[in-house]
Amino acid sequence: MSLLTLTGIGREIGAVTILSDVSVSVAAGERIGLVGPNGAGKTTLLRMMVGREEPDGGKVERARGVRIEVLAQESSHDPKLLEAATLTEAVRGGAEEITRIAAELHAAEIGGGAASPEYAAARQRFDALEGYTIDDRVASALRGLGFPTARHSESPKLLSGGEQTRVALARLVIADPDLLLLDEPTNHLDVEAIEWLEGALRARRGALVVASHDRAFLDTVVDRVWEVRNHTVTRFRGNYSAYSQQREAKEEDADRDAERRTKEIAREKELIQTYRSHRKYGKMHEHEARLAAIEPVVAPKRRAALAISAAGAGRGPAEPVRLVEAVVGYREPAPRTIATARSIALRRGERIGIVGPNGAGKTTLLKSIAGILPPLSGEIQVAAGVVPGYLAQVRAAGLHGTTVIEALRAAVPVELGEARAHLARFLFRGSDVDKQVAVLSGGERSRLELAILGLLPSNLLLLDEPTNHLDVDACESLERFLLDGERTVLLVSHDRRLLERICTELWIVSDGRVVRFDGGWRAWRAAVANGWTAADADDVATAGRSGARAPKAAAGTPAVVKPVAKKAVAAAPVAKLSKEQARRRRAAVEADLERYGLKKSQLELALLDPQVLASYTDLARVSSELADVAAALLAAEEAWLELEGEGVK
């Protein structure tokens, strides 16, 4: 059954054609990924599907009664979300049908209509929607997308734009429409939130269309890929990896076909000339007809790819960077410690990924290594001979000049012709090089930064979210660049596919620590699933180093040491509980565990009571109370685990 059908769709903006004669349909339960270059029309297609934008030609048909919801770039400004009193209410508002039926059931019971056929039908529908679990599902969605229980009573108006988008996403997951449309849903999400979202989308039975540059995400959640390119949509079976293989095979087939037809054309022309010289005009006309029947060879339209190649700066020292008891953070407006690296080194040729939750300090650490932020204390040793190339997360920073080509030549002095040729490799062709830097899109700004980086003679690359705003083709070109040569790379990224393919080891920034993990992305996630934590790993490493002096730079390798100024004031440590206070705290937490555990058992038994089951009002009350108790029990368990980790008995 088709939920949505687009027939002969066309869309133009001014004189620019975005989409032309596109015909596609979405069936019930299909999971479709939209891929293609930035600006190809993916967002336009999603907006037309939901009815927020009308096509210039063709028609959009939606099945009768189908519920379609979309997470768009402007979702953080949704009035329904912002008018809610709390995050819980904002997310619960997505379950409109459950809320409506709940009100009907309550009114029927108050008015004495609990024995009516309408009441029975409403109860049956409410049960089918699992309405009694709505509070638990709302809390789970908020926690999964990075909002701890303590924040669920906050007003959405107080959140940042990125946080509001996450609440809007939680609302859509709860709404569970027949067709869910998502535009770059993994933006603003950290690793744990992305993994939660993947699980939630896999558990859905409804259809999904998602535009994303996150290739690992697409591999996990979609079973079809629509490629939006050259004003049209081409459909592929399978996830992103399957699409990539099919696309490559298709391009190879096109190359072979073009080569075959080129040879046929050359052969026919040769025969025509031969028969003309021998005045065998019958044969000549026969081959002229054959030549006319051969389809002309047109250069195949390939996926645009960045051709990145950085200038050499030598291999660099054996140990470019070492951190010794380095405390990174901020001095203004007040000293604030973010994370501590006790003893960690970067060796020549290593490609290290810096990973951890949002706000843990990954960017702060990279800025400190780049020399932008001095450490609060300790040492960040950068060896002589290191020539760093730094790519900031905010791409607008550091771009000089008014146009693209002027910005490039201001950063790296090259001849005009060489600059144009180099920019063409980064998809700035013709008049594109004269674009004002101030009006570049996020993707264009990223490509310009990478173009500049590609000309710098760097042997240490410090990259902060380099795939931000890049389309999937550009991401794959970046991977090839990073794998080429012997450059040392320190990389902050949420792009799991990039991390898995590029990085053999990781630096984990979490729990206020920076620790090394000997393994790639998948190995780290498996270790986390088995209970690995940065705090435990750091404690083990510290115990192994106890009694030893902090290591210094390798002999014969001069170091530029950037310690904190002696007058700097370190962040005040958190006051430690006395033994008696700790004992009382543990006793209180254990009392909470016992009380909430007992209450949870009582409520679960109440859910089996026939009298409770017979009344919507009583059942809703018990279910809501059970959700609250379960959340309180979870908080008590986390508090107990924290005390246990601190050795409080």
Predicted pLDDT at 305: 53
Predicted pLDDT at 432: 85
Predicted pLDDT at 376: 92
Predicted pLDDT at 20: 92
CA dist 411 and 400 (Å) reads: 7
Q: For residue 374, say if its preceding peptide bond is cis, omega within 30 degrees of 0.
A: no
**β-pair partners for 24:** 6
Predicted pLDDT at 578: 66
Paired tokens of 269? 């022309």
- Helix (H) or strand (E) run with residue 232 in it: strand 232-237
Predicted pLDDT at 122: 86
Q: Is 210 helix (H, G, I), strand (E, B) or coil?
A: strand
Non-local CB neighbours of 389 within 8 Å, separated by 6+ positions: 310, 453, 456, 458, 460, 461, 462
Predicted pLDDT at 551: 40
Q: Are 139 and 86 in contact (CB under 8 A)?
A: no
Work out the angle at residue 211's Cα, subtended by the Cα atoms of residues 28 and 143, and round it to the nearest 5 degrees.
Answer: 85
CA dist 509 and 323 (Å) reads: 14
CA-nearest of 45, 568, 504, 623 to 329 is 568
CA dist 42 and 182 (Å) reads: 11
Distances 425 to 12, 404, 557, 560 between C-alpha atoms, Å: 28, 13, 37, 36
Work out the angle at residue 160's Cα, subtended by the Cα atoms of residues 157 and 161, and round it to the nearest 5 degrees.
Answer: 95
Predicted pLDDT at 646: 65
Predicted pLDDT at 238: 93
Report the relative pairing of strands 336-346 and 321-330 from DSSP bridges.
Answer: antiparallel
Predicted pLDDT at 301: 57
CA-nearest of 516, 489, 492, 494 to 505 is 516
Residue 134 backbone zone (phi > 0: left; psi -120 to 50: alpha; other: beta): alpha
In sequence order, what DSSP letters do the residues of 520-553 get, joined into one string? -HHHHHHHHHTT--HHHHHHHHHHHHTTSPPP-P
Distances 144 to 169, 190, 212, 336, 356 between C-alpha atoms, Å: 11, 10, 20, 27, 16
The dihedral built from the CA positions of residue 161, 167, 173 and 177, taken in this order, carries a sign that is: negative
Q: Are 305 and 475 in contact (CB under 8 A)?
A: no
CATH architecture of 321-387+457-561: 3-Layer(aba) Sandwich (3.40)
Predicted pLDDT at 561: 33
Give the strands of the sheet with 16-27, arranged side by side: 16-27, 2-13, 57-62
Rg (CA), the chain: 30
The answer to whether 1-67+177-238 and 321-387+457-561 have equal CATH topology is yes
10-residue mean pLDDT profile of the chain (649 residues): values are 92 87 94 89 92 91 91 69 90 89 86 84 86 88 90 89 87 92 87 90 92 92 93 92 87 82 88 87 87 75 53 73 93 86 92 90 92 92 88 60 84 85 81 84 78 82 86 81 81 90 92 92 89 86 58 34 33 52 77 81 79 74 79 78 66
Is domain 1-67+177-238 annotated with CATH 3.30.450.370? no
Report the relative pairing of strands 31-35 and 224-229 from DSSP bridges.
Answer: parallel
Q: Hey, where are the domains in the chain?
A: 1-67+177-238, 85-175, 245-293, 321-387+457-561, 579-645
